[in-house]
Structure 1
């Protein structure tokens, strides 16, 4: 039986995107992920200062609510840039090194919105379904073949202040109503640490964490 005090994070180098607020700030104490050169620069800096990157936590995300009839194309584009391109850029920047070392851990933060589509969240949910798809593909290719751990955490409603950032009036009200009963980001940070703190031969594929009273 494994010792409950085993620490597989000691001496490891972790890069967490989206650490300026919310879940990222609770996990780490960062770079425009929509720009590939920015992300590559971040990874190069981290590797030169601290050594090869052992963990990538893809956490940068943007959640904007609107109805399809609002045709909020600017909001759609912002979510696509951050939630899709941001994740792909970070994965691209660390993958070659991990494959060469045949070790590493990529953890993608998704959402329960990647399991079920909620009201006024069509494009946001689509970006989270995308993350579920790339995570499973990575696991099958670089996990099984190269021994790289690939994981995903899907949080429910977390109190990160996201509801207050929505400009669409109707979407903002839906978000604020949904945010009632949200749980603290520290609870997700605990799940992140648990997922990363596993021996190389163990991968936590998917954790879903949400408020007890959230009905989906």
Structure 2
């Protein structure tokens, strides 16, 4: 049975990668998708593609690190479609450095996007879901939220935060308010990240790792599975990684 048909779903970070693939996959299941990101050209193209394929979609240019903008996104979805059933908290930033590099600007950027961005998006949709007496929030996590690499200390910390936050939400919102909350934790994904590594040796290592990577569509399928469950079932955390990934 399809439990996603006609549900109104907000997807943040939807202009590329996992977010774009997730938007397409949810629309294919009959969900109405509201896409959010900062790149308007990519959002507009994706919405056009979804509509051309028979889906229902719209977009709002949004910056999840701005609390007022995140609230306006939720209001836009509610004003346009009359409700918000699902939030896919996907906008994220993954930057690598060693502690001795003291790249404080990168630390702050990841905290702003991966933690505050999630919290602001939740704060935007939560009053609507509480009023409805139902809803789903999927927080995109990572295997980095389960184990730590020396060069990914802050990134992993933000994803550990997502794990703890989601578990608390599940125990409160799920148990007391019928709002299901869960995570999907991908392993190595081919989103073009390896080619963006500037250090030559680092790029070689990244490209070698990326050779075993799964695709964004694979993660999107996991998101659909996690969300497309009867109301009395919550998939707490779904880890999806390449078969050859040994960590």
- Say what the alpha-carbon RMSD is for the aligned residues: 1.5
1:97 has 2:128 as partner: yes
1:181 has 2:209 as partner: no
1:3 matched residue in structure 2? none
Structure 2 Cα separation of the partners of residues 174 and 66 of structure 1:
14
SS at match of 2:64: coil
Change (3 A) 1:76 1:178: farther
Q: CA deviation at 1:15?
A: 0.1
Map 1:96-115 to 2 at 5 A.
96-115=127-146
Q: CA deviation at 1:163?
A: 2.7
Q: CA deviation at 1:174?
A: 4.7
Map 1:116-131 to 2 at 5 A.
116-131=147-162
2:18–2:219: 8 Å Cα contact kept in structure 1? yes
Q: Which moved more, 1:128-137 or 1:22-31?
A: 22-31
Structure 2 Cα separation of the partners of residues 44 and 169 of structure 1:
45
Q: 2:21 aligns with which of 18, 23, 26?
A: 26
Q: How many residues align?
A: 211
2:82 matched residue in structure 1? 51
Q: CA deviation at 1:166?
A: 4.2
SS at match of 1:193: helix
- Segments of structure 2 that go 5 or more residues without pairing to the other structure are 25-35, 37-61
1:16 matched residue in structure 2? 11
Higher strand share: 2
Structure 1 Cα separation of the partners of residues 117 and 146 of structure 2:
20
Q: CA deviation at 1:144?
A: 0.4
1:81 has 2:81 as partner: no
Structure 1 Cα separation of the partners of residues 113 and 198 of structure 2:
17
Structure 2 Cα separation of the partners of residues 52 and 123 of structure 1:
35
Map 1:109-188 to 2 at 5 A.
109-167=140-198, 172=203, 174-188=205-219
TM-score, normalised with respect to structure 1: 0.93
Structure 1 Cα separation of the partners of residues 119 and 202 of structure 2:
27
SS at match of 1:49: helix
1:63–1:162: 8 Å Cα contact kept in structure 2? no
SS at match of 2:73: helix
Q: CA deviation at 1:165?
A: 3.5
2:73–2:124: 8 Å Cα contact kept in structure 1? no
Change (3 A) 1:165 1:50: farther
Structure 2 Cα separation of the partners of residues 119 and 126 of structure 1:
11
SS at match of 2:112: helix
